[in-house]
Structure 1
Amino acid sequence: MVELKAVATSTQESSRALVANVLSKLDEHSLAHVLSTSTMSRYVRQWRQDAQQAPPIPQTRTGYVIPEEYTKLDRERCFLQHDSGTEDDNRILVFASAQGLRDLVRCKSWGFEGTFKYCPKIFVQLFTTHGQDGTFTVPRVFALLPSRTEETYTRVFSILKDLQPELNPQDVMMDFEMASYNAFIAYFDYASDVVAGFEELFDDDDLPQEFIEYFAVNYIGSEMGRAQNRRRMVPRFKIADWNVRDRALQDKLHTNNLEGFHNALQSSGTQKPLTFGVLSKD
């Protein structure tokens, strides 16, 4: 632990990489008696915070300027791409590297995921944008949001478009939440037919009618009218937006990819971390 503390306070290596490097030098007997990797990583972050004398933790979203060291990945690369303002009660912070934004242009399969546990208390959600690069799913944009309203998500997607106008995903994986869904389709637009398969369910007496009607209203579209005037209404969620059959066949991005990243994020730090803690490169 003495060696780990010395290295932690003298290098900028990430806590995970630093711990892994130290552990790689230990024999099997010593490894059996060390603390868990997550615990050692927390020690590293605490030692660094003590050594650097981190700025006071903000108690509200307004009234503070983010120190420069928390806005960059290094001297040359900016990480804080958008700050809606120190006096904005609904302040939004968007973090991404310039390369990450360029990669999103190239990645045609995206995913959105929100987490509440690994998010500073003064914000409501850490909202991440992921791009599928070959067989890998990589988080590219991190946004701290003040709420989960349609207006907030609309602002986020507007910011993304302003940062990189060429963004144009071919398909997207996201939760069926009306606020984010409506905001997204206002900026990006997309179609397969599952109606015939759904209609077969009406002949299944084992399925409750309420269950079938729920899916008709939300995902397929209820039928209205009589005889030749009978037609199917537009469902709450368009079929083209939720049908993932082709995605599965093509081994495209799944929600598990996004949830896996957030689970790893949460396990590597405390729940509801302090504002500058979540901005740390560790």
Structure 2
Amino acid sequence: MPLQFIKSQRGHDLLIHDGFIHKRERTIGEKVIWRCNESKNCTGRAHTMQDSVIKYKEHKHVQNRAKIEVKKTINKMKENAITTIMPTRSLLAETSSKLPSEVAGQMPNPKCLKRTIQRVRNISEAVPANPQTLNFEIPDQFRLTLDGDNFLLYDSGDSDIYEDRILLFSTERNLNLLKDSEHWFSDGTFSSCPNLFYQFYTIHSVFHSDIIPLVYVLLPDKKEITYIKLFQALKSLKPDLCPKSFMVDFEKAVMNAIKNEFPHTKIHGCFFHLSQAVWRQIQHHGLAKQYSDDVKFSLEVRKLAALAFVPVDKVIESFELLLESTYYIENEQMLSPLITYFEGTWIGILDRRGNRRPPLFSIEIWNCYDRLQESLPRTNNKIEGWHNGFSAMISHTRPIIWKFIESIKKEESLNKMIIEQIIAGHVPCKKKNIMIHLLD
């Protein structure tokens, strides 16, 4: 039977044998002598060589198998503290919920366990000084996943170009999953981005009912050329990337970059952001109170955003019918600024010949009809929700870069497990369709 070990509080090996705990006393050649860890007066000894106990001397006290289980439990708790992003309180609850009563009775009190978790995490997250410029070296420990796989797959600073530096984190497996995925989603955020960079940008893909982040990027700005460099870096890492669709916010720079690098990809804007854009115009033109107090007004205004659910070739016709409706004619003066905005941005203004000019965002980009037919998400809300959760997990705005990288390493580890579960067939039940709230 192989030798069994647990770790001491200082990380040293302790030998478990015959229900007793032993610590290393001395080594003689290939033989290791272990003495009782319970009492200095106990003469219990174990002599081991390679993977066997070759000599054993009885102990002077009774066994305490529950104490062994306590140490095993604390060892496992420390391991989980390092490898998961579970909050301290949740980790304590999960640890204690699985313990038999005889083991739970010998566990340290919760305050001690909490301090242990925090101490282990502080040690594991010990980091270099926070760099003050983009001209900094990234140690090997921040280039690898928790499993030791390559994680920093692209660094524009590797070519000694530190200005406008881009860092791209992913794994070979994630890129293969991205390649096999037809539908991509992306979003950027600023609060959880390290202070040397402008935004934290992620690319996600659908796996059954889950939308999983596969690529994590630190960008220096929101310029079109920066997004082009990002997508070019992705294609250099995985040349055959070619998504069928790509959902983004209504940001011209990223849309133009996608058109440039993925010319056959259909770009979709997030319906929630379309609705929010309409809502901002309602506020801008002093109609927020009217929207709140007047049920008829709010219903009629919602119909503008609802055009996203009309077939593409029927949108303009439906828009014109809406303008010809009794309510819009009778309230033309009040609605005029809102209609002018919506027509110029989303529909296209009529020229002198009666033809519509191209809008700021084409109908094909913001229309959701085909996505509903294919049961695809019409918003980026899940991606924004992921970013909110990630920001809460970091618990700091503009974190130092080393803690940021440690956090996305933990996130990658968690998502790897989720992907494994999905592949193994543990698929969450599909949610029922719910009513669409247009300006929720």
Q: Structures share a fold, TM > 0.5?
A: yes
2:380 counterpart residue number: 255
1:171 counterpart residue number: 245
The answer as to whether partners of 1:124 and 1:145 remain within 8 angstroms in 2 is yes
Q: 1:7 to 1:74 in 2, by over 3 A?
A: same
Matches within 5 A, 1:112-151: 112-151=186-225
Amino acid across the alignment from 2:219: L
Amino acid across the alignment from 2:260: A
**Structure (1 or 2) with the larger CA radius of gyration:** 2
Q: Does 1:183 align with 2:257?
A: yes
**Which runs of no fewer than 5 residues in structure 1 stay unpaired?**
none
Q: Does 1:264 align with 2:385?
A: no
The answer as to whether partners of 1:110 and 1:131 remain within 8 angstroms in 2 is yes
3-state SS, counterpart of residue 246 of structure 2: strand
Q: CA deviation at 1:53?
A: 3.7
Q: Which digits, 9 at most, give the CA deviation of each residue in 1:198-249, with x for residues without a partner?
A: 12222122352221221222111112132xxx32211111111111232234
Count of aligned pairs between the two proteins: 269
Q: 1:125 to 1:46 in 2, by over 3 A?
A: farther
Determine the C-alpha separation between the residues in 1 that align with 2:197 and 2:255.
21
The answer to which of 196-205 and 4-13 deviates more is 4-13
Q: Which digits, 9 at most, give the CA deviation of each residue in 1:169-219, with x for residues without a partner?
A: 112221101222222222223393222111222212235222122122211
1:233 counterpart residue number: 357
Q: Does 1:200 align with 2:315?
A: no
Amino acid across the alignment from 2:386: F
Determine the C-alpha separation between the residues in 1 that align with 2:240 and 2:118.
37
Q: 1:12 to 1:25 in 2, by over 3 A?
A: closer
The answer to which of 203-212 and 167-176 deviates more is 203-212
Q: Which digits, 9 at most, give the CA deviation of each residue in 1:13-39, with x for residues without a partner?
A: 2232886454223259x9xx979xxxx
Match of 1:80 among 143, 147, 152: 152
Matches within 5 A, 1:85-124: 85=157, 86-124=160-198
Determine the C-alpha separation between the residues in 1 that align with 2:368 and 2:185.
13
What TM-score, normalized by structure 2, do the two folds share? Answer: 0.55
Matches within 5 A, 1:60-71: 60-62=133-135, 64-71=136-143
What TM-score, normalized by structure 1, do the two folds share? Answer: 0.84
Q: CA deviation at 1:67?
A: 0.6
Determine the C-alpha separation between the residues in 2 that align with 1:151 and 1:261.
26
The answer as to whether partners of 1:4 and 1:19 remain within 8 angstroms in 2 is no
Amino acid across the alignment from 1:264: G
Q: 1:45 to 1:201 in 2, by over 3 A?
A: farther
1:54 counterpart residue number: 127
1:212 counterpart residue number: 339
Match of 1:24 among 70, 87, 94: 94
Q: 1:140 to 1:43 in 2, by over 3 A?
A: farther
2:404 counterpart residue number: 278
Calculate percent identity across the aligned residue pairs. Answer: 29
The answer as to whether partners of 2:348 and 2:357 remain within 8 angstroms in 1 is yes
Amino acid across the alignment from 1:56: A
Amino acid across the alignment from 1:135: S
Q: Which digits, 9 at most, give the CA deviation of each residue in 1:92-112, with x for residues without a partner?
A: 000011111111111111111
1:14 counterpart residue number: 84
Determine the C-alpha separation between the residues in 1 that align with 2:388 and 2:189.
9
The answer as to whether partners of 1:112 and 1:173 remain within 8 angstroms in 2 is yes
The answer as to whether partners of 1:15 and 1:45 remain within 8 angstroms in 2 is no
Q: CA deviation at 1:162?
A: 1.6
3-state SS, counterpart of residue 83 of structure 2: coil
3-state SS, counterpart of residue 211 of structure 2: strand
The answer as to whether partners of 2:186 and 2:203 remain within 8 angstroms in 1 is yes
Q: 1:268 to 1:44 in 2, by over 3 A?
A: farther
Q: CA deviation at 1:263?
A: 1.2
Q: Which digits, 9 at most, give the CA deviation of each residue in 1:72-109, with x for residues without a partner?
A: 11565111010001542110000011111111111111
Amino acid across the alignment from 1:77: D
Determine the C-alpha separation between the residues in 2 that align with 1:5 and 1:200.
69
Match of 1:161 among 217, 235, 247: 235
Amino acid across the alignment from 1:219: W
Match of 1:224 among 342, 347, 351: 351
Amino acid across the alignment from 1:273: P
